[in-house]
Structure 1
């Protein structure tokens, strides 16, 4: 592990455990067993470090959605949700304190607005494909697909925060419950063929989805 990677891992450990506001560069340096000067060589300020970590989140989410666009079938969405869960576990501080981070870091807020728009487009493309192949029912109105994509992103991005506000610690959250919440958005739109495909997928061994 490089020094830079060690700093990032130490920051993630502290951010996830104590929240981003409570952690200073000195805390991160202590956790990484480095001097503040050594840390500052890689990240001059805490803002620089937070923005670097945010970019890692974006890159990983973009890769997942790009992979989904290649094979936008239900089984691939299930795999996508599994990997989305792993990202949210790794960067739980971001998904539990998103609004606070947006207020504190205007540059991240601007980038995140663009990123959300890009994610929505990818989900709309996924929905359009599955409508065209008959797995989802055609939209009732032209804006139905966009509204469905909005609901998908709303639940995906805020589910963890809502559960924590309800009193459930991050470490006690369950992947299966998260995925069920997402599928519940799509299931009312299943065609008969889509429901059959979904039920078949649910019977597959976990390893076959990896």
Structure 2
């Protein structure tokens, strides 16, 4: 199916935002990236703010899609697939973290939307841990708030690992990303959890 001009504009904008940051990109650059005139671009998006708004909508839609995967199948193997989706998401939208941490007198609407999304992600991770305690895949907490801390560790790894690796001059592959997430969980597996992990997940990491 042919990609529409509007989609090409959004895809080019994401590439340029990742490379230069949102503030540094101009409409002329976006138009040149896909070989159209600024006038043609303005037919689809009258301003850069309109492009940014549409990109953010796309980002949040994809993030919501990842959440829905958990609701469909929360088992260990399905979580491994969800980790892959998070990896692709944060690779595709590297600029988004930088935008979130920009210093502004007041948070923008997009920053607030992103804040709600990542808080929802943390709640979902905590719920996932509780579910697998009930399934006897994970052992019960040894102390109050132990799994709150584990959920936060998982969240930080999923969100920040690629950026952290880049700061150290390293690259993150999908495999190393997934392994890092699972290493947080392995110490908490029960005998049943180890068996399910080794049978259903480990072959996908080999």
Equivalenced residue count is 202
Q: Distance in 2 between matches of 1:32 and 1:110?
A: 31
Task: Give 5+ residue unaligned stretches, structure 1.
Answer: none
C-alpha change, 1:164 and 1:99, in structure 2 (3 Å) is farther
> Pairwise mapping of residues 98-117 of structure 1 onto structure 2 (< 5 A)?
98-101=99-102, 103=104, 106-117=108-119
Paired residues of 1:102 and 1:109 also in contact (CA < 8 A): no
Match of 2:180 in 1: 181
Tell me the residue number matched to 1:120. 122
Q: Compared with structure 1, are the counterparts of its residues 182 and 141 closer, same or farther at alpha carbon in structure 2 (3 Å cutoff)?
A: same
Q: Tell me the CA shift for residue 102 of structure 1.
A: 7.0
Shift of 1:196: 1.8
For structure 2, the residue ranges without an aligned partner over 5 or more in a row are: none
What are the Cα deviations for residues 62-98 of structure 1, in whole angstroms up to 9, with x where unaligned?
A: 2122112221111001111112222222223324x25
* Residue 51 (structure 2) pairs with residue 52 (structure 1): no
Aligned to 1:200: 199
Q: In the TM superposition, what is the alpha-carbon distance from 1:100 to its structure 2 partner? A: 4.3
Q: CA-to-partner distance for each residue in 1:32-69, whole Å, 9 max, x for gaps?
A: 22222332333333233223222222221221221122
TM-score (norm 2): 0.86
- 1:7–1:28 contact (8 Å) kept in structure 2: yes
Q: TM-score scaled by structure 1?
A: 0.85
Q: CA RMSD in A?
A: 2.2
Cα shift at 1:142: 4.0
- Provide the rounded CA distance (Å) in 1 between the counterparts of 2:102 and 2:45: 18
